[in-house]
Amino acid sequence: MATAAAATLALPAQARTIDEIRKDGKIVVATEGQFAPFNFFQGAKLTGFEVEVAEAVVAKMGLKIEWKALSFDALLTGLRQDRWDMVIASHGITDERAKAVTFTEPHYCSGGVIVAKDAAIKTAKDLAGKVVSVQTGTTYLENVKKVSAVKEVKNFPQDTDARAALVSGRVDAWVTDRFVAANSLKANPDAGMKLGDFLFIERIASAVAKGNTGLATEVNKALAAIQADGSYATISKKWFGEDIRCK
Ligand code: ARG
């Protein structure tokens, strides 16, 4: 009996199907809101490239959107608990994550880059003996860990704190998304940060509850439609001056 009860409790809540979402008229989408220029707050307003992409996708689906902003590490877990229908927060598609959630098609391609103040720290090799900051739970952490000669990896709940650690000189390098890095360098020209090489590349996608393929299929159709009708390109050029879709 005890085992059966425990097994029932461990079952994920039933994710809402696309039909249930359609009946409701509204999809609940979660993001972090601390990862400019992808998802961030301008005052009280949630904005950014992937906020606008999600809004265009959801509009194509004929639905309204309700945003939730949470810490990065809560996002994929909440899908399993049926607290929201979809997550869009610059998640790279990994085998590990794909065991827990269902990814849609990627909405952009990017990669993790090395940022340092010392121009001599540019490549993975240069990280030997160095202290590196990354956001907790990210592919940056995973990939820095693979660089065996790194002295120490410091984890921060937010990527902005990982950046602050570099700026204040508590770490030698910061690994983050290439577009986030470029944006940060532009926004903080006097901080002395320099852009190094790619450590790895990745495909970035939204996620839905594991097995919610009905919803994923509709999202994929809508994403393909905004990529075909020019609206994706307009949003991308507005934020980056280029089209960052996967080629
Ligand atoms: N691309 C990285 C990953 O897949 C980092 C994502 C961080 N996203 C964020 N909203 N802070 O883990």
Judge if the beta carbon of residue 172 lies within 6 A of ligand 1: no
The Å distance, Cα 45 to ligand 1 centre, comes to 20
User: How is residue 65 written in tokens?
Assistant: 């959107």
Judge if the beta carbon of residue 196 lies within 6 A of ligand 1: no
Whether the predicted pLDDT of 7 surpasses 50: no
Which residue has the least CA distance to atom 10 on ligand 1?
89
What is the mean predicted confidence (pLDDT) over 7-36? Answer: 86
Residue type, 29: V
Place of tokens 């994403």: 223
Contacts of 231 (CB under 8 A, 6+ apart): 56
What pLDDT digit, counting tens, does each position of 126-144 carry? 999 999 999 999 999 999 9
Residue 9: per-residue pLDDT: 53
Residue 13: per-residue pLDDT: 64
**With contact defined as beta carbons under 8 Å apart, do 139 and 205 qualify?**
no
Other beta carbons within 10 angstroms of residue 204's beta carbon come to 23
The Å distance, Cα 204 to ligand 1 centre, comes to 9
Banded pLDDT at 31 (limits 50, 70, 90):
very high
- Average pLDDT across the chain, whole number: 95
Whether the predicted pLDDT of 165 surpasses 90: yes
Residue 14: per-residue pLDDT: 80
pTM for this prediction: 0.94
What pLDDT digit, counting tens, does each position of 209-242 carry? 999 999 999 999 999 999 999 999 999 999 999 9
The Å distance, Cα 206 to ligand 1 centre, comes to 11
**With contact defined as beta carbons under 8 Å apart, do 61 and 222 qualify?**
yes
Place of tokens 């909405």: 107
Residue 10: per-residue pLDDT: 46
Distance CA(60)–CA(41), nearest Å, equals: 24
Which residue has the least CA distance to atom 12 on ligand 1?
138
What pLDDT digit, counting tens, does each position of 179-208 carry? 999 999 999 999 999 999 999 999 999 999
Whether the predicted pLDDT of 5 surpasses 70: no
Nearest to 91, CA basis, from 8, 190, 176, 207: 207
What is the mean predicted confidence (pLDDT) over 159-172? Answer: 98
Judge if the beta carbon of residue 33 lies within 6 A of ligand 1: no
What pLDDT digit, counting tens, does each position of 62-113 carry? 999 999 999 999 999 999 999 999 999 999 999 999 999 999 999 999 999 9
In DSSP terms, 92 is beta-bridged to 204
The Å distance, Cα 176 to ligand 1 centre, comes to 8
Q: Assess: ipTM above 0.95.
A: yes
Other beta carbons within 10 angstroms of residue 227's beta carbon come to 19
Nearest to 112, CA basis, from 137, 144, 136: 144
Banded pLDDT at 244 (limits 50, 70, 90):
very high
Give the CB-side neighbour count of residue 96, counting CA atoms within 13 A.
7
Give the position, in ligand 1's atom list, of the atom nearest the Cα of 39: 10
The Å distance, Cα 13 to ligand 1 centre, comes to 25
